[in-house]
Amino acid sequence: MEEVSIIGIDLAKRSFQVHGARADGSVAYRRKLSRGKLLGFLASQPGCTVAMEACASAHYWGREITSLGHEVRLVPPIYVKPFVKRQKNDAADAEAITEAARRPTMHFVAVKSEAQQAQGMLFHTRDLLVRQRTQTINALRGHLAEYGVVAPQGRARIGDLAGVLEDVDSGLPGAVAELGRLLLGRIDELNDKIDGLDRKIRTSARENEETARLMTIPGVGPVTAMALQAFAPPMESFRCGRDFSAWLGLVPRQHTTGGKPRLGRISKMGQRDLRRLLVMGAMTVVRHASRRGEITDRWLAGMLARKPKMVVAVALANRTARRVWALATRKETYQVRTAA
């Protein structure tokens, strides 16, 4: 029997389906393994390619399997789905993963290190706390609005609601005032935790040479720079900056047929957190430029004269992504162009 050239694994919590294929694509074996027996089985196999979907726990298994001497390929789940034959089950998924990983034009996901995943967890934890703070603020504003207490939107105007809750002559029922103070305490607690994470992110971003270089780009702050390092694949894997912006989903979606190009809204593919941060940073640059009235960037000035601000922000985010690729690959800092 010929040696197995590629092994596809359908990941799960406890039960793993393994599909082995020879060099000609024929099936060598199909096996179902428990979590504790997976690494032992792969250690007994000769060095080959091991393919998995880039889903939960894939990076952990990728590091463990790489240490056994195998080459690991992580395939995006959206690229595996077309290879699933008829019925949806673990064996069919493992076979589809094997077929997808054997395609010569397939795009793979780089296996992340433990440090990269730790940075990603830091970002996601901060993002979760920010969402919880927003939910709590909206809940407080909504509850007090039922009693005629209305305050302007924004986290900075929570002090107006706090003053009403502390006023004994506000006319609010005692239970309402007590629950409102409970929500205010929760908001203060979340503020302290978010500020602590922000300090940690700023410190890490300044100490790291790559993130410090990225922060020289307008619209890229410490959070965005750390997220780029944690979530983006190596910039050397992209042929040019336009490929990186396309991976982020900041390019128009194509509906081209019969040689007639039709471009629509942005595709919104790739890592949505990075796309959101780049658009938010670009919107900050657009608002700042509009308020000052004097725009030194001729491209930005021309875009603002013709397009709505949100459209300009998305276009600027695309431009920022290309700048990120250029600085990361050339190991340079951003230089502001001066007018001739």
- The pLDDT value given to residue 254: 87
| Residue pair 254/262 in contact by the 8 Å Cβ criterion | yes
**Domain segments of the chain: what residues?**
6-101, 114-207, 210-330
Angstrom distance (rounded) from CA 207 to CA 230: 15
CA distance 177 to 173: 6
Q: How far is CA 219 from CA 50, 232, 263, in A?
A: 40, 17, 26
pLDDT of res. 62: 96
The answer to whether the CB of 41 falls within 8 A of the CB of 50 is: no
Could you tell me the mean pLDDT of each successive run of 10 residues in the chain, 340 residues long?
85 95 92 95 94 94 96 95 92 96 93 93 95 95 91 86 86 90 95 96 92 93 94 92 94 89 88 94 90 78 90 94 94 72
Q: Are 287 and 321 contacting, i.e. CB atoms less than 8 angstroms apart?
A: no
Model pLDDT, residue 2: 57
Backbone angles phi, psi at 136, to 5 degrees: -65, -40
Give the CATH superfamily of 6-101.
ATPase, nucleotide binding domain (3.30.420.40)
Measuring CA to CA, how many Å separate 252 from each of 42, 262, 268, 283, 320?
43, 9, 9, 19, 16
H-assigned helices in the chain: 35-43, 58-66, 77-80, 90-101, 114-145, 158-166, 174-207, 209-214, 222-231, 241-247, 272-292, 298-306, 309-330
Nearest to 28 by CA among 38, 16, 20, 18: 20
- Output the pLDDT for position 91: 94
Which pLDDT score is estimated for 285? Answer: 92
